[in-house]
Structures are given as C-alpha cells and as structure tokens.
C-alpha cells in the first residue's frame, strides 16, 4: 500500500525528568488505513520506546486510548491518520483535558471515575427477585433510551472537552449525568425519578449546550441530550433553582407573547440579583436596547397558545 510521511507532534512529559510538558516531533510513514494508534505504536516500537499511552482493544470498544488529536478528544484507534493530516497538516497528539497528567498521553482519570460514580451508579433492582428465574418483562422500545446511554464506554472524551468543566469543577460532567439518565430511563430502576434530586448541586444547570460532548463521543451517546431530559424531569420535583426558574420564565414568556419577553425573563430568573446589572440595564436603555417590559404579542398568538394548551392536554391523557 502507498505510504506517505506524516508529522506527529506529541506532548511529552516524564514526571521523573521534566518540570513541565513539551512537544516532540516524530516523522511516521502512514498508509491510508493506519489509525493514529497504529502510528503511536510504530513510534513506540521503532523510534522511542518511552512514548507512553493507554490502549487495549484497538477497535473502538474499550475506551482506553482516548486522547486529544488535533485539539479534540477522540479514540486514537478510531482516528484515521490520513484524515487528520489532510485536514490539519499534521497530527497534534495530547493527553485529555480536564484531567491531571501522569505521563505523556496518560491522563489521571481518578476525578472522572469519581464523578461518574457519585450518584448510585448501578441499577437499584428489586431484590425480592433474587431467587426468581424469571426476567423482568421489558420491550426493546422501553429500553431504547437506556440502551443508547449504556453504550457509553467511559472513555472520558466528553469530560475532556467539556467547556463548563474547564471553568467549573463543581459540574459533575456529561458522562456522569448521562449515566444517571441511563438509570432514570430504565423501567426496572427502583430509584427512578428520585435520582433527579441532588442533581442541581452536581451542576445540572451548568451545562452550556456547547455540544462538544455530542460531537466527540465515539459511541454517539449524546450526553447533552440526556442533560436536557434530566432538566425536564427536574421540574416535577419542584426544583426552585435558578436554572429551573429560567426555563419556566421562558415558557411563560413564549406562551403569553410568542416571542421572548426578555425583561420578564431576566427578572424572573435573576430576581433580586438583577440589581447587579442595574447599571447595564440603564446603559442599554440609553442606547435604545433595553427590552420593553411590555412587549407586544406576535400576530396569531392564539395559535401558539393553542399549541401550549393542546400539548398539555395530550400529556395529561
């Protein structure tokens, strides 16, 4: 097979020798089938035995080889070297973000594991069934949502690339919330919706929907969608958090005016905190940008209100 030479810039850090990480350049012959993992193995065996990284299954299932490749977290065994070279000119390889560094491309995943194991990370099953030889009856449709979330291989890519996590260590992270939802959505779980309690403290409302976790997940788990669904569920539990108030205020606004009544949305969400922005509100008013506290409803608002009412009725049935 035809080969070409590619430039790999790899982050190196040996805690026994180095004060801080640095980059080392390797030249590797790649063909159109090789993955970044194949190239790393070639480097390790032919050029530098000290290059350190985790890997095991080489088929995208075990999750060992998650690392940042050209600045985004991916599985090295499922990332084609030529694709990276064609797109970015070189292959920049770094350890996962949001985790302390152990050595080279090996990140310390202890925090990640701690977060994903915070909130009852097992099915709370009906133990009266212990000696029963009958399975729970469950259709494929009923377990579809859980199944998708259970595809998670705990590779850490979503946690690595989570922007909120960079700035907010209280945010438990996408994988953790996706795992919680995996159980919430499982009809066999006895905890069920009770799992939603305590999620606010874990940062349920810290997710910004940047969609990096959706983009970078090698198993298409879509943690951000699970987070949205958990938020929806959290209303049922009379959650008075700012995040929940924001959603309710938004809904009210759309229902009454069709468009966003930003003034009331802001007030209802922020409440007394609005005084922090009083100066800003004044400046905006001076520029003619302050949202009117009495906006007009859109034409045909009755259609919008009908949809609100109809869908509420459909749910109640």
Partner 1 sequence: MKYAYYPGCVAKSSAPELHSSTALVAEKLGIELAELTAASCCGAGVVNEGDPFLNLALNARTFAMAEDMGLDILTICSTCQGVMSQVKWQLDKDSALFARTNGALAKINMEYKGKVKIKHLLWALIEDLGLSKVEQQVVKPLKDLKIAPFYGCYVLRPAEVLQFEDHEKPTSLEQLITILGGEPVHYEGETKCCGFPILFVQRETAFKMAVTCLKNAKRKDADFMVTPCPLCHISLDIYQAKASKRTQVNVDLPLMHLSQMVGLALGVEPEKLGFSKHMVSMARVLRVL
Partner 2 sequence: MIKHDVAVVGAGLAGLRAAIEAKEKGADVAVLSKLHPVRSHSDQAQGGINAPLSEDDNWEKHAFDTIKGSDYLADQDAVELMCKDAPRAIIELEHWGALFSRTEAGRLAQRPFGGAGFPRTCFAADKTGHVLQTTIYEQTRKNDVQIYEEWFATSLVVEDNVCKGLTAIEITTGEVQAVQAKAVILATGGAGQVYSKTTNSLTTTGDGIAMAYNAGLPIEDMEFVQFHPTSLYGSNILISEGARGEGGYLINTLGERFMKKYAPDKMELAPRDIVSRSIETEIREGRGFEGGFVHLDLRNLGEAKINERLPTIRELAIYFAGVDPVKEPIPIQPAQHYTMGGIPADLDGVTSIRGLYGAGECACVSVHGANRLGGNSLLDTVVFGKRAGAKAAEYAKEVSFVSFSEVTLREEQKRIETLLNRKDGVKASEIKKALGNTMIDKVGIFRHRRELETAKRNVATLQRQFQNVCVLDSSRKFNTSLIETLEVGFALDLAEVTIAGALARRESRGAHYRIDYPKRDDAKWLKHTLAIRTAEGPRLSYKPVTITRFPPEARGY
Contact positions vs partner 1 (CB under 8 A): 70, 72, 87-88, 163-164, 167-168, 205-212, 214-215, 228-229, 231-232, 235, 242-243, 246-248, 250-251, 253-254, 258-260, 262, 266, 269-270, 277, 280, 283-284, 287-292, 295, 298-300, 303-304, 306-308, 310-311, 314-315
Q: Which is nearer to partner 2, 37 or 244 (CB)?
A: 37
SS3 content of the chain, % helix, strand, coil (to 5): 45, 10, 40
Instruction: Look at residue 164 and give the partner it binds from partner 1, partner 2, none, a contact being a CB closer than 5 to 8 Å depending on partner kind.
Output: partner 1
| Burial class for 315, CB neighbours closer than 10 Å (0-12, 13-18, 19+) | exposed
In the region spanning residues 152 to 181, those forming contacts with partner 2, defined by CB under 8 A, are 153-154
- What secondary structure, in 3-state letters, does 137-206 show? CCCCCCCHHHHHHHCCCCCCHHHHHCHHHHHCCCCCCHHHHHHHHHHHCCCCCCCHHHHHCCCCCCCHHH
Residue 143 engages partner 2 in binding (rule: CB under 8 A): yes
How far apart are the C-alpha atoms of 316 and 285, rounded to whole Å?
A: 42
Beta strands in the chain (DSSP E): 3-12, 22-31, 66-69, 72-75, 91-94, 101-103, 106-107
Residue 47 engages partner 2 in binding (rule: CB under 8 A): no
In the region spanning residues 183 to 242, those forming contacts with partner 2, defined by CB under 8 A, are 183, 186, 188-189
Instruction: Look at residue 238 and give the partner it binds from partner 1, partner 2, none, a contact being a CB closer than 5 to 8 Å depending on partner kind.
Output: none
Contact 221, 178 (CB under 8 A): yes
Q: Which is nearer to partner 1, 113 or 250 (CB)?
A: 250
Instruction: Look at residue 11 and give the partner it binds from partner 1, partner 2, none, a contact being a CB closer than 5 to 8 Å depending on partner kind.
Output: none
Rounded to a whole number of angstroms, the minimum distance from the CB of residue 46 to partner 2 is 8
Give which of 212, 14, 156, 4 is closest to 90, Cα–Cα.
4
The binding site for partner 2 (CB under 8 A) comprises: 14-17, 33, 44-45, 49-50, 52-64, 78, 102-104, 106, 109, 113, 117, 121-123, 125-126, 129-130, 132-140, 142-143, 146-147, 150-151, 153-154, 183, 186, 188-189
């Amino acid at each position: 097979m035809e080969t070409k030479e590619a430039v790999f810039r790899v982050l190196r850090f040996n805690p026994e020798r180095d004060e801080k990480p640095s980059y080392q350049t390797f030249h590797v012959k790649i063909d159109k089938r090789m993955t970044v993992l194949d190239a790393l193995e070639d480097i390790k065996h032919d050029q530098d035995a000290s290059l350190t990284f985790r890997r095991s299954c080489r088929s995208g299932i075990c999750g060992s080889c998650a690392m940042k490749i050209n600045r985004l977290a991916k599985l090295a065994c499922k990332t084609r070297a030529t694709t990276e070279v064609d797109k970015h000119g070189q292959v920049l390889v770094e350890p996962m973000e949001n985790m302390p560094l152990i050595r080279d491309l090996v990140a310390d995943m202890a925090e990640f594991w701690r977060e994903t194991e915070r909130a009852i990370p097992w099915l709370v099953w009906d133990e009266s069934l212990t000696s029963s030889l009958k399975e729970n009856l469950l259709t494929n449709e009923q377990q579809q949502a859980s199944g998708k979330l259970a595809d998670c291989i705990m590779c850490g890519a979503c946690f690595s690339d989570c922007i909120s996590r960079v700035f907010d260590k209280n945010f438990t992270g996408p994988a953790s919330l996706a795992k919680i939802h995996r159980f919430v959505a499982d009809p066999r779980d006895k905890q069920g919706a009770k799992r939603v309690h305590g999620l606010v403290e874990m940062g349920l409302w810290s997710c910004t929907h940047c969609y990096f976790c959706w983009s970078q997940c090698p198993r298409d788990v879509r943690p951000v969608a699970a987070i949205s669904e958990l938020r929806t569920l959290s209303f049922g539990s009379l959650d008075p958090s700012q995040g929940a108030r924001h959603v309710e205020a938004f809904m009210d606004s759309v229902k009454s005016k069709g468009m966003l009544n930003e003034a009331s949305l802001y007030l209802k969400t922020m409440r007394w905190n609005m005084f922090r922005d009083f100066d800003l509100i004044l400046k905006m008013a001076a520029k003619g940008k302050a949202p009117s506290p009495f906006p007009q409803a859109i034409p045909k608002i009755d259609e919008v209100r009908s949809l609100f009412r109809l869908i509420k009725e459909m749910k109640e049935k």
